[in-house]
Chains A and B, each alone.
Chain A
Amino acid sequence: MSEDLGFDPSLKKKKKSKSKTEDSPAPVDSATENVDELFSGLKKKKKKSKSVETESTGDASNEPTITDALEGLSLKKKKKKSSSSKNTEADDFDKQLEQAGINAQESLNTSTNQSSETNEIISSSSNNAPNSSSSPSQSSSSIPSSSPLAYPNLLSRFFSILKEKNPELAGGQQSKLKIPPPEVAREGNKKTMFANVQTIATVLQRNPEHLIQYLFAELGTSGSIDGEKRLIIKGRFQAKNIESVLRRYIQEYVICKTCKSMNTELKRESTNRLHFIVCKACGSTKSVSSIKTGFQAHVGRRKKV
């Protein structure tokens, strides 16, 4: 009861406003007329209780439009309605509840069964009304704001905020990492220039030295880096050749084997001289073999002995 007392002042204010607002635009209720008659004859205390009842009914009339979350409350109040001989309204509620996915027949049966117990329910509900009416009054205060906020709108809003603040959680980060195509051009007759090694290495979060070492080992050549940090490879290579080698490099040294993420780091363990891929997305580590050049056949002129 202490809670009720605590609630009372706010409830009174809301009730007053409610009764004003709902009585004036909705004169359909026959109950309100009865209530008015009762109002004339009754004292202030009973006014309060009756006003609570009218309020609850008014809320119930609004409820199917409000939220589906208050279905339980609406069911309770519908029983009240049927008890107060408003079958037409109850039918309307049933239709609306059918739209909400609730079996109307069951509710009707229950309402008819419990129509005999109506008076008790009314009394109990009038006692419960302050508690129960507090929640719909709060929800009804948020009706105009909640009605345009449909679920898909809220969902899209949530994901837009999530993408702003935390893009990794929103998913689709695999498409985010885009590797620029290698810019390959011939330099002179026997050399190939690979212009954007540095940018590709930074996109892959790898040391350019490591990438260049892999390229040389795979292509079986050697080369150098010129003043603008472009890579000069000995031999003639086409862009698709370099691209396929790059693809293999990413497969072997960039992509995390457990979660397929490309957000990884290559760390060198100084104690055992092994290279490890550390995934920043899932936190797994995996050892990778170091780059070996392998056998290099002697090409070109032999040294004169």
Chain B
Amino acid sequence: MSSIENLKSFDPFADTGDAETQPTNYIHIRIQQRNGRKTLTTVQGVPAEYDLKKILKVLKKDFACNGNIVKEEDFGQVIQLQGDQRLKVMEFLTQQLGLQKKNIKIHGF
């Protein structure tokens, strides 16, 4: 009987409970070149449960840069920051907000 019990050990098609498998809500951190050696960092796709205004306030203070929130029809609210803040934003999102690192994508060079 033990060998027969082995047959129904586990269902490979059962839900594993991994909600992260669906790659829907990535947070994209991009960089854009401006005139001269100035750059612009954009953070797109921050989940709606976070208050973007408060995040922006902290970010501006932490990184010592200016920034604002742009409301876009396609992409929702996007945070813009002056300068190349990609790695710092990534660190902030993972440390302070507790977001998964694999859900964050850093673009640019």
* Cα(A237)–Cα(B32), bound, Å: 11
Q: Which residues of B contact A299 (CB under 8 A)?
A: 32-34, 40
Beyond A220-B30, A220-B31, A220-B32, whether A295 also contacts B78 by CB under 8 A is yes
Confirm or deny: B85 has a beta carbon within 8 angstroms of a beta carbon on chain A: no
Task: List chain B residues, Cβ under 8 A from A244.
Answer: 109
Known: A236-B33, A299-B34. A294 touches B28 (CB 8 A): yes
A205 surroundings in chain B (CB, below 8 A): none
- For the complex, give the distance between the alpha carbons of A111 and B19 in Å: 74
- Kindly state whether residue B72 has any CB partner on chain A within 8 Å: yes
Q: Name the residue among B28, B31, B32, B40 with the largest chain A CB count within 10 angstroms.
A: B32
B5-50 CB contacts (< 8 Å) to partner A: 23, 28, 30-35, 37, 40, 42, 44
Assuming the contacts A218-B108, A237-B109, asked whether A294 and B44 have C-beta atoms less than 8 A apart, the reply is yes
A242: chain B residues at CB < 8 Å are 109
Query: In the bound complex, do residue A218 and residue B107 qualify as a contact, i.e. CB atoms below 8 Å apart?
Result: yes
Contacts of B32 in A (CB 8 A): 220-221, 296-297, 299
Q: Mark A278-292, 1 if CB is under 8 A from B, else 0.
A: 000000000001000
Q: Is A202 an interface residue (CB 8 A)?
A: no
Count A-B contacts at CB 8 Å.
53
**A233 nearest in chain B by CB position:** B33
- A217 vs B109: C-alpha distance in the bound complex, in angstroms? 11
Chain A 217-247 per-residue mask, 1 if CB under 8 angstroms from chain B, else 0 = 1111100000000000001111011101100
Q: How many residues of B contact A (CB 8 A)?
A: 21
Q: Which residue of the partner chain B has the closest CB to A244? A: B109
Main secondary structure of the interface of A (DSSP, over half): loop
When A295-B72, A299-B40 are in contact, do A219 and B28 touch as well, CB less than 8 Å?
Answer: no
Residues from chain A with Cβ under 8 Å of B33 in the complex: 219-221, 235-236, 299
Q: How far is the CA of A238 from the CA of B33 in the complex (A)?
A: 13
Alpha-carbon distance between A244 and B80 when the two chains are bound, in angstroms: 24
Q: Which of A244, A295, A299, A300 has the most CB of B within 10 A?
A: A295
Is B109 in contact with A295, judged by CB distance below 8 angstroms?
no
Tell me the minimal C-beta distance from B8 to chain A in angstroms: 29
| Chain A neighbourhood of B34, CB < 8 A | 299
Is A219 in contact with B72, judged by CB distance below 8 angstroms?
no
Q: What is the minimal beta-carbon distance from A60 to any residue of chain B, in angstroms?
A: 54
- With a cutoff of 8 Å between Cβ atoms, the chain A residues found around residue B23 in the complex are 289
Known A218-B109, A219-B109, A297-B40; further 5 A-B contacts with Cβ < 8 A:
A221-B33, A238-B109, A295-B70, A295-B72, A297-B32
Binding site for A on B (CB under 8 A): 23, 28, 30-35, 37, 40, 42, 44, 70, 72, 74-75, 78, 80, 107-109
Can you give 16 A-B contacts (C-beta < 8 A)? A217-B107, A219-B33, A219-B108, A220-B30, A220-B31, A220-B32, A220-B33, A220-B107, A220-B108, A238-B109, A245-B108, A245-B109, A294-B28, A295-B44, A295-B70, A295-B74
Closest 8 CB pairs of A and B: A241-B109, A235-B33, A220-B32, A295-B75, A295-B44, A295-B78, A218-B107, A299-B34
